[in-house]
Chain A
């Protein structure tokens, strides 16, 4: 119990520093790169004076540290602000400036937009992880058990192919072949869960090489450990040794990969894949927000994604420590 408390307090404090640094970086970068959200909001015929007045009213001309301090003050109360361009009544976007358009009550709360999109992304990410594990675990474990033989080479070849396929290209090709030509699966947008299968498959292909490699390395290195031979000498069957002991121990590096690499990769790829499939998750929300310079939405998603990564890392490390108490993080 004391170990767990100490572990979480220490890791949470470290994580908080990372999150603040990332928030600061994103916040500053958004304001120094070209692209004024006010122009997107007001449309092409707005005069320069109106644009400037609106920017000042929204606090966009305050010094960046002042803006950041105000923002942090908001975020610590759980308020991620309101979208610059999306209205309170729906996910509509920019170009308007009538009457009370920019009053906070007429703009969508960022958290509401994210919470609407999150279930779609969770479904997609969950399916992608599931499909990826289904593809990669049998291949990776077989490669680890038959190190240096054909299953190992097959795993290497497959991983090389998978890792060489650009996800956006694969997405377009699969939509064309499977959905347009084959009519086997729906794609583009979202009507029901079957719309998540094709994008999930693309993500799974991207994730698989990492899983195949770590499963194969973890299993093969465990097979060389003395406890495998010792167990068999004491009468345990090879199958039992593999299923009960080797695979269990091999899970530790796999969990690390799942937490650190896979979740990171998944978060990055979700943006591209959701955009390509026009899939209404957090990734599409983020990409559209970038196009429209919707700063509050970009900041919130970046901070939440960073928080998620930090938390997953902490949980994975904690789980690994629990599986094997010799590990120290």
Chain B
């Protein structure tokens, strides 16, 4: 059993759940830009407040957001300490050759906060948007590219299916690895050549299985009248509602404020 539930869609009916997924994608990009622009602690406070308010509005337990952060704590810690230790400046305290500077601490803190905010913003999108709606939004936003020959529908469908098959394939890999170990396979021991060879018992059946799944899925999709994007409708048609315009307005106002504070 393998878990891939971090950051996965949590069904609900909050304002953020109800927003058009395109609105959410655009707002996430705008807010992420803002996160990179901000520099002063006031601006950080403003943006953190905005993100926290949005988190409360999702109605999703803070624990779920927190767990997601925990899963990358190592990355966060390393970035913070590297920044804190390697920035030259006024030494705050030193341990042997390690010197923690005031500038380093401030810089490390800011980078840490920026990363945390970015991740939380990404979660705001993925936790409140079903994968299907997410791909529908991307398909719609990228639609203009269709004119220059980018197969946007096909890309979106591929993404939908990939998301759907990740848990299935992970389970399959786990099962095959166990079955081959039951016949004495020792993955990853011996020299480089042996190691590569040792992976064959895992990868040959895994690829064969993935191909079989792909073929069966293709037949099943065809049986359900799938013939590409043409003529296809969606149960959830994407329409912008008043709350979408409001959300976009507020988000862009915040982006504008950060730009103004930064560059004037």
Is this pair of chains taken from one and the same complex?
no
Residues of A with Cβ closer than 8 Å to B?
A: none
